[in-house]
Amino acid sequence: MYAFLPRTLPETLSALTELALDLRWTWSHALDALWQTIEPELWARSPNPWVILQNISQKRLDELAGDSIFLQDLNRAIENRRCYLSELGWYARRRDSDSPIRVAYFSMEFGLSEALPLYAGGLGVLAGDYLKTASDLDAPVIGIGLLYQEGYFRQIIDANGDQREAYPYNDPTSLPVQPTIGADGAWLKVELRLPGRMLFVRVWQAIIGRTRLYLLDSNDVRNGAADRGITAKLYGGGAEMRLLQEVVLGIGGWAMLEALGIEVEVCHLNEGHAALVVLERARRFMQHTNVSFREAMWATRAGNVFTTHTPVPAGFDAFPPSLVYTYAREYLREFNLSVDDFLALGRLDPTDKDEPFNTAYLALKGCAHVNSVSRLHAEVSRRLFSGFYPRWPLDEVPIRHVTNGVHMPSWDSVWSDHFWTCACGKDRWLGTVEGLAEPMSASVDESLWTLAAKQRHDLVRYARERLAWQLGQRGASPQLVSEAAQVLDPNVLTLGLARRFAEYKRPNLLLKDPARLTRLLTDAQRPLQLIIAGKAHPEDAQGKALIREWFEFTHRSELRRHVVFLEDYDLALAQHLLQGVDVWINTPRRPREACGTSGMKTLCNGGLNLSTLDGWWAEAYRPEYGWAIGSGGDGSDEADADSLYRLLEEEVVPAFYARDAQGVPRSWVQRMRASTSHLAPRFSTNRMLIEYMERFYRPAARTYRRRCESGARLARALHAWDSALATDWHEVHFGAVESRREADQWHFRLPVYLGEISPDSVKVELYAAADGKLPAESTLMSAEGSIAGAISGYIFSASVPASRPVEHYTARVRAWHEEAFLPAESAWIAWQR
């Protein structure tokens, strides 16, 4: 069953392999005691069961094989896993004919555990949380990504405060993954055509409870040295290497699905890195159905979902046209497209031959369903992509939002887990989140305050141990290492500030006035303490300078016990931080944070948020939940820094230290209760995945099936409909509008000339833009009849309430087909001048 075993285990212990390879242990901690029993020291240093099985001595294995108590615990663990896998989960029990057979989730990175380090930041952590939730809900989802030989860098801070990067090798035999076996019984290898050569891509799989993550890598002995390095580093190399990684992910990912015979109705692209899958999916559909490329796109596009996480154009991958052509020319003959037509698929302006090929633009054109990751980000994205929908009102640009969430069982502390279990039951995160707020709202003040104290104590202990270790690695003096045991205080208000160190995130906003911050940290009666972490991109000199500023600040003699910088921000450090801080600080420059999920992860632990009104916090914030920096506008750094200091001085610190006779800060605990009970369910991946299922996947699967029926008859018809509109749209024009008022109604009559376009292919509407408190309106106009003596001329009429001036209304004609997603798939529109 398993190709790469760490060793031969005694028969009575063979089930340990099965348990170690199932990454459910990353969030279901029932097995922690089992692994700790096997090898306590190694588990404390690296809680990775697969590594433990590789390093345990044979003597210890023999002892465990004869330990009846251990074997009883092992049998219980196996039975627990069997029940989890065999019982139908929440979503599986509710499946119906509209449910997708399977959703393939493509992502360049997945952050599941430090045992499988295939992520750089929030995008990957979100993808990992998504797969864990799919397992818990028993949703028909699989993940597709890349297996990197080195992955993202590990951070080292030297004695001068400068970031250094290290790239440890990811030996696949040491990772909790196994080769994927093909139909012939051999390790599956996907073959991809590249200029002058064939690329051989190996396929691995990781088990995540009820679901699977398939991982592709190019380190096959039949590939040349350069090609073997395609999957060496996450986001490594130049433009050509990045393009090749996207070829492996998108084209190789879909080829792998077909090789395994996995039927997928919905492809979910987590960012534009996976955009090439829309081309490969269409190409394979052409081969299977004998349709043209454009018709295949009309069929498959219905089943494609694109999630954009980027708030600025610079965040999209864009490649030189000549480079794209080099790797695309093998496919152009199959697509029957010219070079310019092919490159236009990734361009805003199809006529601009110098415009780079943008994979986010390809994803937008290849997916009928597009969403952003927060409400505010949707507004930003509609502006960002508005050029694809010329003359459409901004609020009708077809980009919706599903606000990100986090997988709460991955982020709650052992104390929080117990607290939630007592209030809401053991299965609280295995289905819908409805009904979780009420029992949590009934929690007792003293219990919540005790929870905070226990978590803070654990964090302080962890921070001391990690700081001592990193000082030792840095070669610090024994005295300095020993002093690490005295930093921080488990009874002091603890703030966490950890993120990628990039200028727009303003990680040093709290350092705008070092003297003011110092007074807050060292106040004799009401002190603060601060834990900082974060990495800068290896090429980001400005980000590295920001790290150096914090490093120098933390090394002031009067502050050593009050503030620490913990290097190498990773999943393990994030979990401890977010489980133990009292307040999580986030300071992005609005509206540059698409969503941000770090602050969500403290919700289930009773932590509070202090953040600018950007990303998710812009829609979550209420005074009873936490604090907002600034007024919600695009504040200057100086104004936002002053707001941050004042909130700490006048609200946060006083609320934390205002204790009653029982020693409980009642107003603080009241905020904890409100934030935990109302926001944790709302910003969980349970809510997020169910929202994707209901609003995106089910409509996508349903429409994709219809477009595939009868040899893709509907897809062919839609292509013909849109092609006819493209040919004849220039003929659409308007006559003079007539308007009159009767009582409280405006009545409009309007001649419309459609040329060769059928009236059934369009809608004629009266439109009024939003104006002050008046919302945007769109009213369908009805055809009264033909215009005498005119070719394809019709009179359209409509009546609307006279609650706004007549000049607010303008007539328009837009493309219409009941089987199309509009204007996502056809943006033809004409306005009365």
Q: Are 599 and 611 in contact (CB under 8 A)?
A: yes
* Higher per-residue pLDDT: 313 or 813: 813
pLDDT confidence of residue 236: 82
Task: Please list, residue by residue across 23-43, b when 16 or more beta carbons sit within 10 angstroms of its beta carbon and e when fewer do.
Answer: bbbbbbeebeebbeebbeebb
Name the residue type at position 425. G
Calpha distance 724→558 (Å, rounded): 75
Q: Are 688 and 792 in contact (CB under 8 A)?
A: no
pTM (2 decimals)? Answer: 0.96
DSSP string, 431-482: S--TTSHHHHHT--HHHHHHHHHHHHHHHHHHHHHHHHHHHHHHT--HHHHH
φ/ψ (deg, to 5) at 406: -130, 155
Calpha distance 440→122 (Å, rounded): 28
Give which of 246, 305, 301 is closest to 276, Cα–Cα: 246
Which residue in the block uniquely carries the two structure tokens 């002093």?
A: 483
Calpha distance 751→736 (Å, rounded): 7
**Surface-to-core class of residue 513, CB atoms within 10 Å of its CB (0-12 exposed, 13-18 middle, 19+ buried):** middle
Calpha distance 233→242 (Å, rounded): 10
pLDDT confidence of residue 89: 96
The pLDDT of residue 81 is above 60? yes
pLDDT confidence of residue 788: 85
> 458: Cβ–Cβ under 8 A, 6 or more apart, which residues?
413, 415, 576, 579, 580
| Residue range 256-272: mean pLDDT, rounded | 97
Name the residue type at position 130. Y
- Per DSSP, what are the bridge partners of residue 814? 763, 829
pLDDT-derived band of residue 3, with 50, 70 and 90 as boundaries? Answer: low
Q: Which two tokens stand for residue 618?
A: 């812009």
534 to 241, 426, 505, 537, 597: CA distances (angstroms): 26, 34, 11, 10, 15
CA-based angle 150:154:157, to the nearest 5?
Answer: 150
For 296-325, how does the pLDDT look when each residue is reduced to its tens digit (9 = 90+)? 999 999 999 999 999 999 889 999 999 999
The pLDDT of residue 4 is above 80? no
232 to 111, 153, 315: CA distances (angstroms): 17, 11, 22
Q: Are 505 and 312 in contact (CB under 8 A)?
A: no
Q: How many Cβ atoms are within 10 Å of 806's Cβ, its own excluded?
A: 14
Name the residue type at position 426. K
Calpha distance 722→304 (Å, rounded): 19
The pLDDT of residue 511 is above 60? yes
Q: Are 358 and 274 in contact (CB under 8 A)?
A: no
Q: Are 450 and 568 in contact (CB under 8 A)?
A: no
Of the CA atoms within 13 Å of residue 301, those in its CB half-sphere come to 27
| Residue range 740-751: mean pLDDT, rounded | 94
The pLDDT of residue 286 is above 70? yes
The pLDDT of residue 42 is above 80? yes
CATH 3.30.70.580 for domain 92-401, yes or no, is no
Q: How many Cβ atoms are within 10 Å of 392's Cβ, its own excluded?
A: 17
pLDDT-derived band of residue 171, with 50, 70 and 90 as boundaries? Answer: confident
Domain range list for the chain: 11-86, 92-401, 422-683, 732-831
92-401 against 422-683: fold identical: yes
Q: Are 99 and 698 in contact (CB under 8 A)?
A: yes
| Residue range 724-735: mean pLDDT, rounded | 96
- 3-state DSSP of 781-793: CEEEEECCCCCCE
| Residue range 162-168: mean pLDDT, rounded | 94
For 665-713, how does the pLDDT look when each residue is reduced to its tens digit (9 = 90+)? 999 999 999 999 999 999 999 999 999 999 999 999 999 999 999 999 9
> 626: Cβ–Cβ under 8 A, 6 or more apart, which residues?
583, 608, 609, 610, 611, 617, 671, 675
**Surface-to-core class of residue 504, CB atoms within 10 Å of its CB (0-12 exposed, 13-18 middle, 19+ buried):** middle
| Residue range 572-591: mean pLDDT, rounded | 97
Q: Are 436 and 677 in contact (CB under 8 A)?
A: yes
pLDDT-derived band of residue 151, with 50, 70 and 90 as boundaries? Answer: confident
Calpha distance 823→833 (Å, rounded): 21
Question: Which CATH code is given to the segment(s) 732-831?
Answer: 2.60.40
pLDDT confidence of residue 641: 97
Sign of torsion over alpha carbons 385, 391, 395, 396: negative
Among the ranges given (232-236, 547-551, 589-593, 665-669), the one the predictor scored with the smallest mean pLDDT: 232-236
Sign of torsion over alpha carbons 576, 577, 581, 584: negative
Name the residue type at position 141. V
Q: Are 487 and 564 in contact (CB under 8 A)?
A: yes
φ/ψ (deg, to 5) at 520: -65, -45
Q: Are 505 and 547 in contact (CB under 8 A)?
A: no
Calpha distance 820→183 (Å, rounded): 38
For 333-347, how does the pLDDT look when each residue is reduced to its tens digit (9 = 90+)? 899 999 999 999 999
Among the ranges given (40-49, 109-118, 437-446, 727-736), the one the predictor scored with the smallest mean pLDDT: 40-49
Question: Which CATH code is given to the segment(s) 422-683?
Answer: 3.40.50.2000
Which residue in the block uniquely carries the two structure tokens 């349709």?
A: 291
| Residue range 344-353: mean pLDDT, rounded | 95
Calpha distance 57→199 (Å, rounded): 40
| Residue range 147-160: mean pLDDT, rounded | 92
Name the residue type at position 201. V
pLDDT confidence of residue 543: 97
pLDDT confidence of residue 263: 97
